[in-house]
Amino acid sequence: MSDSPSGPNDNAERAALDEAWAAFSHLLDASQPDVAQNLLVRQVCGRLGRRTARSRRMAVVLALAASVALVVGLVSWRRVAPHREIARAPQGRESTAATAGFDWDDELADEIESAAWSLGAVQSEVHGRFERARWVQEEMDELESEIELSSL
Amino acid sequence: MNDPGREANQRELVSRWVHDHGRSVLGYLVGLVRDRSAAEDLLQDVFCRAWQARHRYVDTGRERAYLLRIADRLACDRARRPRKVMPASDEGIRPLEPVDGERSPWETLLAEEARAQLTSALNMLNEPQRRVLLLRYYGDLGFSEIAEILGAPLNTVLSHNHRALQALRRLLVEKNGS
């Protein structure tokens, strides 16, 4: 042993500690464990093999899980992507129809357009009539106030 | 898909380690955990871990210190895990006896006494003191190396060693002297 126990400086103390160390070493010498080396080598190699196989299986499982996740992600993305394209597409009716994947029907579109125009015309007519009724009401209020003034 | 060459290499390396250091590492583990079967289990783990981490090991000719460091870590991990508390008994030390076939009654008596003394000695020490003394004995390590393995300052290791030897002195030397 190259190092010696530090602490006590006096030789008597050091000698006593050395003696204690020698006695302890002697006890351990007498109790050296017996190792069945061949058996131990077999056990260690067996355990190593099992661990290696387990980690290999784990790697395979992880790779499979990653592949499945990738496929699921890809499929989901492909399902969602066309709708996102529609949302981002320019407002032209032909391009919208093309993106959505159906043919544009001109007659149907014309009907929808004419219906929209008719609806607009009806709306403006109603609005005009309402405005005229309000104007008549205002005129009548003015006449009434003039009559009241003249009667005074 | 096992590579036979690699397996042979592994077997050769493990065999060499077991041959050179198995007894010391097992002795250290038995002294620390005081349970032969647990120590043997840990011993297998030590060699497995050492082989798995062999690429990180820088060959400085201190293989035993490397193995004892792993053994120490594993024994500490085992101690941290909750388990049934087992007081030290002769049963843990009994298998430490060299198996040398037939013994005379006198030899058996001496061995019994030595075993009882070793049990008493180990029971007197706390865990850090046991680790220091066992590393010093089984690893033939200097105090600086022990400090490195235990992750403790050198002065702490020297102090553990000093106190442990004082305790052992009272038990082993003075008792025998009287």
Tokens at residue A33, please? 């464990």
Burial class for B157, CB neighbours closer than 10 Å (0-12, 13-18, 19+): buried
**Mean pLDDT score of chain A:** 76
* CA pair distance B86, B174, nearest whole angstrom: 29
Decide if B114 and A27 are in contact by the 8 Å CB cutoff.
yes
Decide if B173 and A23 are in contact by the 8 Å CB cutoff.
yes
Decide if A30 and B111 are in contact by the 8 Å CB cutoff.
yes
* ipTM score assigned to the predicted complex: 0.73
* CA pair distance A21, B171, nearest whole angstrom: 12
CA distance A55 to chain B (A): 12
Do residues A2 and B155 make contact, with C-beta atoms less than 8 angstroms apart? no
Per-residue confidence (pLDDT) for residue B100, from 0 to 100 = 46
A58-85 pLDDT, tens digit per residue, is 999 999 999 889 888 888 887 777 766 6
* CA pair distance A81, A103, nearest whole angstrom: 20
Per-residue confidence (pLDDT) for residue A143, from 0 to 100 = 80
Q: Is A10's Cβ below 8 Å from some Cβ in B?
A: no
* CA pair distance A91, A112, nearest whole angstrom: 17
- Average pLDDT of span A44-69: 87
Chain B residues lying within 8 Å of A8, measured CB to CB: 162
CA distance B83 to chain A (A): 23
- Cα angle value B6/B8/B10 (rounded, 5°): 70
Mutate to test the interface with A, among B45, B48, B90, B144 (most CBs of A within 10 A): B48
The number of C-beta contacts closer than 8 angstroms across A and B is 124
How distant, in Å, are the alpha carbons of A2, A9, A22, A28, B165 from that of A19?
16, 16, 5, 14, 9
- Average pLDDT of span B1-23: 73
Decide if A31 and B45 are in contact by the 8 Å CB cutoff.
no
**Partner-chain residue, chosen from A1, A32, A49, that has the shortest CB–CB distance to B27:** A32
- Average pLDDT of span A18-40: 80
**Partner-chain residue, chosen from B10, B43, B158, that has the shortest CB–CB distance to A48:** B10
Do residues A101 and A82 make contact, with C-beta atoms less than 8 angstroms apart? yes
B29-76 pLDDT, tens digit per residue, is 988 888 888 888 898 889 888 888 877 777 677 788 888 999 999 998
DSSP-H helix ranges across B34-153: 36-52, 63-80, 90-93, 105-124, 127-139, 143-150
Q: Is A13's Cβ below 8 Å from some Cβ in B?
A: no
- Cα angle value B25/B27/B31 (rounded, 5°): 120
Decide if B27 and A20 are in contact by the 8 Å CB cutoff.
no
Do residues B9 and B54 make contact, with C-beta atoms less than 8 angstroms apart? no
A11-30 helix and B154-168 helix, angle to the nearest 10 degrees: 80
Check the CA dihedral B61-B62-B67-B73 and report its sign.
negative
